[in-house]
Chains A and B, each alone.
Chain A
Amino acid sequence: MRREDPVNQTPVPGDHVQQSTSNVGRAVLAVLMLGVAGWMYAQRPTSTSQAEAGTTPPPEAMPADLPGFRPDAWFLPDDDLLGFVEIPAGPFQMGGDPTTDAQAFENERWSGASAQGTVDLPTYYIGRYEVTVAQFAAFVDAAGFSVGEQTLQDPPHHPVSAVSWPDALAYCRWLGATLRASNDTPPELSRLLRDSWQVTLPTEAEWEKAARGTDGRIYPWGNAASRDRANYQGPDTTPVGSYACPDCPYGLRDMSGNVWEWTRSPYQPYPFDPADDREGLGADALWVMRGGSFNDPPRNVRAAIRGGGDPGARRPFMGFRVAISPL
C-alpha cells in the first residue's frame, strides 16, 4: 500500500530519487541564494542624504573636458571665483510697477500703497550661470545622491533641470562643504566660507537685484524684450551662457529664460521680508521661482516675474543657480 504525503507532493519511498543529484541541487540552491544576496546588495540604496526622488542610478553626465569650465573643480566656471560674481551692497527697487511695465502681474505689486519697494541688501555673490548638468552630475557622483531619470539627461553644459527644491538645496550644501574642505578653493571664497557665509539658493530679492540691477529695468538688458539676449519662446534649453548680454548688470547670463530658477524664499505676498519664512507653516508649501524658461513668452521672463513652485516638482523647465550669502 502506498503511503502518501498528506499535503505536499512528497516523493515516497520507491520513487526514483537520484541521491547524487541532491548534493548538486543543494549546491545550486546555495549558489542561487549567494548570487541573489550579492545582486541585492548591489541594488541597495546608496544615498542616505536625501529623500529618494527616483531610484535610477545617475548616468555618466560628466565630460572629460568642457570649455570654460574646470573638470578639476567640479565643473565650475573657469575664472578667479569659480563663476561667483560679487553683487555690491546697496538698495534697489523690487517689484513690478504697472505704470512703467504694463505686463506686470498683480503678485509683483509691493503693497496697496506702492507698486515697488526699496530693499537694501548687503554684499553677496551669485553664480554667473545656472547650475549645469555636469556640475550636478559631479555632486550626484560624489555624494551618491539619487535623482530621477530626467535630471541628468541633457548635455553636460545645459542647465540642470527636473530638480526639486530640496534637490537644489542638497547641491548647495554639498558644494559649500566641498569648497570649505578643498585646498583649491580660491582664497576669497575660502575666506567667505570661513566667515560663516553659506552656499545656498538666492533669496528672491537677491535674485531680482542680480537680474535687474539698481535702475529698475524690466529685463536684465533693458526695457524691451529681445530674443538675442536670452533663450525664451524656444523649443528647449541651450548651453548656459550661450546668449551674450553685455548690457546686463554684473555680467550674469540667462537670468531670463532657459530654466526657471528656485530661490530660498517662500511664496508669499509682498512686501518682501527675508525673515518671514516661518509664516504660514500650516499652509501647503510653495517656493518662489524666478526668471522664466525656454518655453515662456516675454512677459514671463521679466526680472520681476514671480512664480510659486511646488517644492517637490521636478520639471524639465525648472533649475537653479547658486548664491553665497552672509546668513
Chain B
Amino acid sequence: MSAARRRRPQPRRQRGTGQGAQTARRQAPPPSPLRLFWVPLALTLGLLLVSFVPRIQANVGLTRSLWAAVVGLLVWQVALFARLRGTAEDRSFHTILRPQHYLQASVQVAVFVYWGYFWRPVYDHAWLLVAQLLFAYVFDMLLSWSRRDNYVLGCGPFPIIFSTNLFLWFRDDWFYLQFLMLAAGFMGKEFVRWQRDGRSTHIFNPSAFSLGLFSLVLIATSTTDLTWGLDIATTLTLAPRIYLFLFLIGLVVMYCFSITLVAGSAAIVLFGASALYSAVTGVPYFIDSEIPSAVFLGLHLLVTDPSTSPRTPLGKTLFGVLYGLGVFVLYSVLSAIGVPTFYDKLLSVPLLNLSVQWIDRLVRSLQDSAVVTRWSPDWTPARANLVHMTVWILFFGTMTAIGATDGRHRGDTVPFWEQACGEHRLQACDRLIQIESNYCGDNAGWACNELGRHYTEGTIVTAAPERALGYFSRACEVRFQAGCVNLLDQEHLSRADPRVLDLRLLLREAGRNLLEMPEPEVYARACDHGWRFACDGRTP
C-alpha cells in the first residue's frame, strides 16, 4: 500500500464510519463506495426540493441557478462513483463538531436575526442560505472524496457560508454566481496551501478568499450592481445600537477563541486613525461613523479565523493593526478610483492571510529581543485573553461614552457635507457625491437631482453630461419635478428643497420607520439635522 493511502490512527471522539470500524472491515471484501454516497445524494435532492419553495420559484433565474447547481453536483457524484466503482478505495466520514464552527455560526445567525428584523431582505434570503449550505456540504464532501478517502463532517461549512453572506450575496437573477463564489472558496481552501509550522494548511480564510476574489472581479467588470453588496454594507445601521450588539456578541467569540488581540487592535487602529484624520481635516473619515458598522462586523467575524492568522499574541496584534490600516487605506483608494468603498474590508483579508508567514518570522525575530521579553508578562493564554478583553471593553466603553459608536454622528447629514465641501475641506466634496449617490440609490429624487447638477456643472466633480442626464432621469422617474425640468433644459438648472418623501429617506435612522412618521416630526427632525428650510415651518 502506498504512503498516500496508508491510514493513520484516528482520535477517539470520531464517530460513525471511523477508523475502528474500518480496521475491522478491512478483512472483508472492499465495501461498495455506494455505501456512503446516499449522503451527498440526499443533500443534493434536498437542494432540489428547496428550489421549489415559493421564494425561489418566484424568480426564474434563481430557480435555474439551483437546478444548475443540482445538475452539476449530480454529475460530479456519478463521475466519482464511476471512478471508484470496482476499486478497493473506500470513502468515509469523520464526524467532528468543533466549537469554533458551531459557536461562530451561532453568533453569525444572531447577527442575521437581529439585522434582518430591521431589514427584511435578510429574512427573504433565509431559503437561499439553506440552499447554499446544502450546496456547500455536497461540494466540500465531493471535493474531499475526489482527493482523499475521508471527509470531516461537522459544522465547518456553516461559518463559511454565513460569513460570506454577511458581506456579499448576488441578486436573484445572478444567483448562480453565488454558488461559483462558494465553490471558489472551497477550492481555495483545498488547493491553495502552504507549509506552515511543518504542516500543510490553507493560506486563505475560505470565505475571505472567495469574497476577495469576487470583489476584484466585480470591481474590474463594474458589476457591483449584480450584488446586494452596497445594500448589505449600508443597512446594518438600520438595526439600533448595532455597534453595541456586535461588541457584545464579539465578546463571546473573543472569550472562546482568543481573538481579542486581532479584533481589538484593528478597531483601535481604525478608531485612532479616524480620529486623527478628523482632527486634522475637520471632517469625518468614514462618512457617518468612526468605523463603518460593516467593518466593525468584519473585524469580529471575518478576519479572525485562527487557522489563517498568526498564533502568537504579538503576531495577532500586528495582524489586527495591519487589517485596520489596510481598511483605512483601501477606503480612500477605492473612493479615489470611483469604486464602492464597501470592498475595503473584503480586499484586506486575503492580503493579510498572505502576510501571515512574514508576520510569524518578524515575531520570532522580535521575541529574541530583550525589550519584548521584558514586556511579555508570564500569563497563561486564558488569563492574558481576559486581560486583553478587559482593555477592549474599557476602550469600547470610552468610545461609546464619547459618542463614537452608536448614536448620532455629525457626518450623517447632507447639509454637513455641503458645508464642508463649500469650505473646501479635504475630500469633503467626494464624500458629498458619495453620500448623495447612496441616497439617490434609495430613490431620494432630491439627491439624484443634486448629483445631476454636480455632473452638469462640473465644479466639484468632473463634468459628465451623459451621467448627469441619467441622474436627472432617475430624479424625474421618482417624480422629483426639478429633475424632469432639468431634462428639458440643462442650461438653466432647477433645484428644489427635498420633498417630505425625500426627507424620510435622507433622515433615516436605526430602528425608526420614518416612512410612518408624521410630517411635522419629519420637518422638526430635518431642522435638527441642518436642513434650514425645514426650520421655518415652510413645507414644499
User: Which residues of A line the B interface, CB within 8 A?
Assistant: 2-18, 21-22, 25-26, 28-29, 32-33, 36-37, 40-41, 43-45, 48-51, 53, 55, 164-166, 169-170, 173, 200, 264, 266, 277-278, 280-287, 310-312
Contacts and interface: CB of A to CB of B under 8 A. Distances in A.
A312 B479 contact: yes
Nearest to B6: A14
B226 A16 contact: no
Q: For chain A, what secondary structure do more than half of its interface residues adopt (helix, strand, loop), or is it mixed?
A: loop
Contact of B477 (A32, A55, A166, A282): A166
B226 A18 contact: no
B217 A36 contact: yes
B473 interface: yes
A47 B478 CA distance: 19
B248 to A, nearest CB: 22
B142 interface: no
Nearest to A41: B221
Interface residues of B, number: 80
Contact of B488 (A16, A21, A45, A169): A169
Interface string B112-129: 000000000000000000
Interface in B104-147: 140, 144, 146-147
Contacts of A10: 199-202, 307
B460 interface: no
Interface stretch (B291-299, B335-343, B494-502): B494-502
Contacts of A165: 476-477, 484
Contacts of A32: 180, 183-184, 187
Contacts of B148: 11, 15-18
B477 A284 contact: no
Given A165-B476, A281-B485, A12 B199 contact: yes
Given A5-B307, A17-B4, A310-B479, A43 B223 contact: yes
B202 A8 contact: yes
B147 A17 contact: yes
Contacts of B476: 165-166, 285, 311-312
A40 B218 CA distance: 8
A264 B495 CA distance: 19
A37 B221 contact: yes
A15 B150 contact: yes
Contact of B470 (A7, A18, A43, A49): A49
Contact of A283 (B5, B193, B540): B540
Nearest to B157: A9
Contact of A164 (B467, B477, B482, B488): B477
B315 interface: no
Interface of B: 4-6, 8-11, 96, 98, 100-101, 140, 144, 146-152, 154, 156, 173-174, 177, 180, 183-184, 187-193, 199-202, 206, 213-214, 217-218, 220-223, 225-226, 305-307, 448, 466-467, 469-474, 476-485, 487-488, 494-497, 499, 540
A39 to B, nearest CB: 8
B478 A312 contact: yes
**Across chains A and B, which 7 residue pairs bring their CB atoms closest together, nearest first?**
A282-B540, A312-B477, A51-B474, A25-B191, A166-B473, A281-B496, A285-B481
Contacts of A21: 146-147
Contacts of A16: 4-6, 147-149
A7 B75 CA distance: 30
Contacts of A285: 476, 479-481, 483-484
B224 to A, nearest CB: 10
A17 B192 contact: no
Given A10-B307, A36-B184, 13 more contacts: A12-B199, A14-B8, A16-B4, A25-B191, A33-B217, A37-B220, A41-B221, A43-B226, A169-B473, A169-B487, A266-B481, A311-B479, A311-B484
17 contacts: A3-B199, A7-B307, A8-B305, A15-B8, A16-B6, A22-B191, A29-B192, A32-B187, A36-B184, A44-B223, A45-B222, A49-B470, A51-B473, A165-B484, A281-B495, A285-B480, A287-B484
A6 B485 contact: no
Contacts of A45: 222, 225
B189 A8 contact: yes
A29 B473 contact: no
Contacts of A15: 8, 148, 150
A45 B305 CA distance: 36
Nearest to B4: A16
Given A9-B152, A15-B150, A281-B482, A40 B177 contact: yes
B536 to A, nearest CB: 14
Given A49-B469, A166-B476, A264-B488, A282 B307 contact: no
A283 B540 CA distance: 7
A56 to B, nearest CB: 10
A189 B101 CA distance: 72
